[in-house]
Chain A
Amino acid sequence: AAGVIQSPRHLIKEKRETATLKCYPIPRHDTVYWYQQGPGQDPQFLISFYEKMQSDKGSIPDRFSAQQFSDYHSELNMSSLELGDSALYFCASSRRSSPRGYTFGSGTRLTVV
């Protein structure tokens, strides 16, 4: 079965640089979610999109932005990177009508040096 695809798997950036993370949801899933997980922490919700429109916002810094494209893939753009942005970034997708199939991607490990 198709899964949620995230790229890249690993990313190393310097402070003040910009990073772009990509997510390809499961076909026919209408909602995409982004989470940030710091070392030893539980995942924190950043932002979600339903049918390509921003649906909900969590603890997403103003330096971050995201969008969902016509093919349903989503990108998380992170600017002016800080050391504290080093984390694992998960994308997940589901159908809003039933989160039974809520599925996570393998994550992108971002290291800011």
Chain B
Amino acid sequence: AQTVTQSQPEMSVQEAETVTLSCTYDTSENNYYLFWYKQPPSRQMILVIRQEAYKQQNATENRFSVNFQKAAKSFSLKISDSQLGDTAMYFCAWVNYGGSQGNLIFGKGTKLSVKP
């Protein structure tokens, strides 16, 4: 069975600094996507960044970037120039595609606090 592990339940960072959130996953599938979702106190699930497994180039979205290590099954999120609005729960998620299942497998989440 596929699993996603986020080993950091809570993290904190000073405003304007850089922080990296860890995620590892276990799968024998070849075709999959990885996502990072942000869930602020409003509890809306907001897509931060996604990575297709077949792409070697790491995805970037403004201040957010990932370090995707397919062989190591690692997918960490780097947030640069942290802002107070980045305070939220962050979930790493995996999904297979092309098969019969398409539900996301989530990690337990990392609660990030950005301090002024």
Contact = CB atoms under 8 A, between A and B. Distances in A.
Interface of A: 31, 33, 35, 37, 42-43, 45, 48, 50, 55-56, 58, 88, 90, 92, 94, 96-100, 102-104, 106-107, 109
Contact of B102 (A35, A48, A88, A103): A48
Interface string B86-116: 0000010001011011111011110000000
Contacts of A99: 33, 95, 97, 102
Contact of A102 (B43, B44, B95, B107): B95
Contacts of B44: 104, 106-107
B68 interface: no
Nearest to B91: A42
B35 A102 contact: yes
A90 B47 CA distance: 14
A97 B98 contact: yes
The DSSP consensus for interface residues of chain A is strand
Contacts of B109: 42
Name the residue among B35, B97, B100, B103 with the largest chain A CB count within 10 angstroms.
B103
A102 B104 contact: yes
Nearest to A57: B103
B103 A100 contact: no
A55 B100 contact: yes
27 contacts: A31-B102, A33-B102, A35-B103, A35-B104, A42-B91, A42-B108, A45-B104, A50-B102, A55-B100, A55-B101, A56-B102, A56-B103, A92-B104, A94-B102, A96-B97, A97-B97, A98-B97, A99-B95, A102-B33, A102-B47, A102-B95, A103-B47, A104-B44, A104-B45, A106-B44, A107-B44, A109-B43
